[in-house]
Structure 1
């Protein structure tokens, strides 16, 4: 397979996500959030992420979410006491949804269109906390460069909080004839490619721009963070899934896989 350049992968992923937005807005989850965000204490964050953010401390802080999608998680940060929240995403279509949800909320986050590699200068060294949640790292072709730009957004002493799917899961295909057989190498370097719309559940049988998903090992992630001056202060793995329901089948096994992780890295 001929691999795309980093720039082409980012551009194609942007196009794929812009196309994807309409499918997500058709889901029952959209209406649930549309009704719920009107409440000041709205939060869609699970207990795991809420616990880590509470320990790090969000109350009274300035927070940026990198890869904010439709803004539901950015809006949830106000329930933890965030003073100011900025959500960044490269998908115009999802940012439109984020602003729609925010219009229903008593809070006033700011949403900015940018890919992480081209953060506006006014966001540099501005935030006490940066948040990355499920799925963001896999869309990044160069994890080292990604973390370099993440670090730029943090004030000295600021903390990056990551809540991500565990890279071990990329070795399995829940839709394969044998979903427990190893389908891919942990050290895979070529991206997974999808030519249908990106949806969280099921499939949409339509043609879409190719989307490129890059698997990064834990070693890749930690090394990239350390190389840009981020000091790992917390790392924990969990047996529950925080991704598509298809992966729920790997939970509660006698030989249990690590399914997701949290990590906190502080800018020195």
Structure 2
């Protein structure tokens, strides 16, 4: 039985607050050192960099939803963006982002909030809404999510999505014992959330029994329809064989030319 949106997001908040200190133990010092270099840019995916160049972040006001520890937003600021705001449900992640921005002198604002509770004061304030790897899988209701995104955007503003391809969700993860890495082991269409208690430490690799998490596998068609229903026209859509999930590197290394990630740009009409 499906539960209220806030039930899922509250549970996921607890799971991420548990996981982030493990991430930080493995990467915080290194990331601080990288961003202490003037103009440092974390983004390395050439496909994404080309799209960022095309929509041009120079002087743009950007909000990054599900921003985690803020490194992608800090990079956009270093690329010339104007007002930059990051939103994440995880208290620990936002504290890290705020601390790094202050320490490295990068002018970004980070706010701890459920995406469904974003203040209406931020509506009609941004030229770009950014979503990156792992965001959409934590979102229980795509239609409501993109309704809020549409409100955040100014007319002719863009939503930029760089995400894990739902096709990859059907395949074994790297830590799965199945020998055939291209064997389909999960359905594409799901009516219910996936309930997990597995480790969320994809950074340091700590294996622990985690607090319960709820993961949602949204199809490409459900994504497209949520955009359409909320007045966002698709301007670019490309699929890529590069893994950005930290869980399907073995499929990427096979060079099987299957979709593991995608980039979508939508424009508010």
TM-score when scaled to structure 1?
Answer: 0.94
Structure-2 separation of matches of 1:82 and 1:61? 5
Alpha-carbon offset, residue 173 of structure 1 = 1.6
User: Relative to structure 2, which stretch is displaced further, 247-256 or 124-133?
Assistant: 247-256
Q: CA RMSD in A?
A: 1.6
Is residue 2:222 matched to residue 1:220?
A: yes
Which structure 1 residue ranges, 5 or more long, are not aligned?
A: none
Change (3 A) 1:206 1:253: closer
**Aligned residues, how many?**
265
Alpha-carbon offset, residue 145 of structure 1 = 1.1
Q: Residue 235 of structure 1 aligns to a residue in which SS?
A: strand
Q: Residue 26 of structure 1 aligns to a residue in which SS?
A: helix
1:115-130 superposed matches below 5 A: 115-130=114-129
Query: What is the match of residue 109 of structure 1?
Result: 108
Alpha-carbon offset, residue 104 of structure 1 = 2.1
Q: Residue 226 of structure 1 aligns to a residue in which SS?
A: helix
Contact 1:239 1:252 (8 Å CA) reproduced: no
Structure-2 separation of matches of 1:20 and 1:252? 27
Deviations 1:189-235 (A, max 9, x none): 22222214411157544343211110011001011011100000000
Query: What is the match of residue 195 of structure 1?
Result: 197
User: Relative to structure 2, which stretch is displaced further, 34-43 or 227-236?
Assistant: 34-43
Query: What is the match of residue 261 of structure 1?
Result: 262
Structure-1 separation of matches of 2:11 and 2:221? 27
Deviations 1:148-193 (A, max 9, x none): 1111110011000000011100101221424322111111222222
1:144-223 superposed matches below 5 A: 144-174=143-173, 175-178=176-179, 179-201=181-203, 204-223=206-225
Query: What is the match of residue 36 of structure 1?
Result: 34
Alpha-carbon offset, residue 252 of structure 1 = 4.8
| Runs of 4+ more than 4 Å apart | none
Alpha-carbon offset, residue 254 of structure 1 = 5.8
Contact 1:196 1:203 (8 Å CA) reproduced: no
Structure-2 separation of matches of 1:202 and 1:113? 24
Q: Residue 251 of structure 1 aligns to a residue in which SS?
A: helix
Change (3 A) 1:100 1:262: same
Structure-2 separation of matches of 1:243 and 1:177? 18
Structure-2 separation of matches of 1:210 and 1:202? 20
Q: Residue 264 of structure 1 aligns to a residue in which SS?
A: strand
Contact 1:189 1:214 (8 Å CA) reproduced: no
Structure-1 separation of matches of 2:109 and 2:203? 28
Structure-2 separation of matches of 1:258 and 1:149? 28
